[in-house]
Amino acid sequence: MEAIRPVRRTLLRDRAYEAIRDAIVAGELAPGAVVRDAGLAELLGLSRAPVREAFSRLVDEGLLESKPQSYTRVTPLVAADVRDAAAVVGAMHELAARTAVPRLEAPHIEVMREANVRFADAVRAGDVDAALTADDELHDVLVRVSGNRAAAATVARYTPLIRRLERRRFGEGGNCRSAGLHDELIGACAERDVAAAVRVTAEIWGALEDLADVEP
């Protein structure tokens, strides 16, 4: 059966990484919670090896901390870490905007508009998962069109640190990023106005740096 091949180890590692990362960002694994490879492997239906590999990556990315022969646990929410991550991710989005805006076509703009409608609807409904998913889809258009793999990798690495705080603020009755700012960004993109797109992008991500100034 040529179509049936063993699942590559890297795919199992990635499955474990994504599942544990998402649980941390969603707060299902709370700050300070101790995690054990055996227990999570059982929950995920995997062996312990890919879970250990996922742990190593999550430690490197700042979502887990580990003391050899002692514990592995979810890192606390630290305002300075979130602020630093927002600054770096914001800079990557600004870089992406500079490159992508001249390359955008009508279908790209439409994807951004549709994502912003879903974002605004989700914010009104108090649906944080849908709001953050739509937000990611909107901004990912510029990252993808820019074609900058280093920027995309940096955004993917550090955005989860920011999402943890955004989710908490949303749950405390706060708001996600403004749909109005998204409208400004989309308008600048439609007009191929690179300077305006970069300015609005900086404003969006600067607001997240400000959010981190309030201790969780």
Percent of the chain at pLDDT > 90 equals 66
| Backbone angles phi and psi of 33, in degrees to 5 | -65, 135
Please give the backbone phi and psi of residue 81, each rounded to the nearest 5 degrees, phi first: -65, -40
* Residues sharing a CB contact under 8 Å with residue 139, sequence separation 6 or more, in sequence order: 93
Structure tokens at 166: 């955004």
Residue 107 reports pLDDT greater than 90: yes
Q: Helices marked H in 72-127 — which ranges?
A: 79-100, 106-125
Alpha-carbon distance of 63 to 85, in angstroms, equals 12
pLDDT digits (tens, 9 = 90+) for 44-80: 999 999 999 999 999 999 999 998 888 899 999 888 8
Evaluate the CA torsion angle 111, 117, 154, 102 in order and state its sign: positive
What is the mean predicted confidence (pLDDT) over 97-113?
98
What per-residue confidence (pLDDT) applies to 179?
83
pLDDT at 100 over 60: yes
Q: For 114-140, how does the pLDDT look when each residue is reduced to its tens digit (9 = 90+)?
A: 999 999 999 888 888 898 999 999 999
pLDDT, residue 12, reads 85
**Residue 203: what pLDDT?**
93
Question: In which band, very low, low, confident or very high, does the pLDDT at 9 lie, cut at 50, 70 and 90?
Answer: low
Structure confidence at residue 1 as a pLDDT band (50, 70, 90): very low
pLDDT for 216 equals 46
Quick count: other Cβ atoms within 10 Å of Cβ 173?
Answer: 7
pLDDT at residue 70, as a whole number: 85
pLDDT class for 207, splitting at 50, 70, 90?
A: confident
Q: How confident is the model at residue 214 (pLDDT cuts 50, 70, 90)?
A: low
pLDDT tens digits along 37-46: 999 999 999 9
Tokens of 21: 């990362």
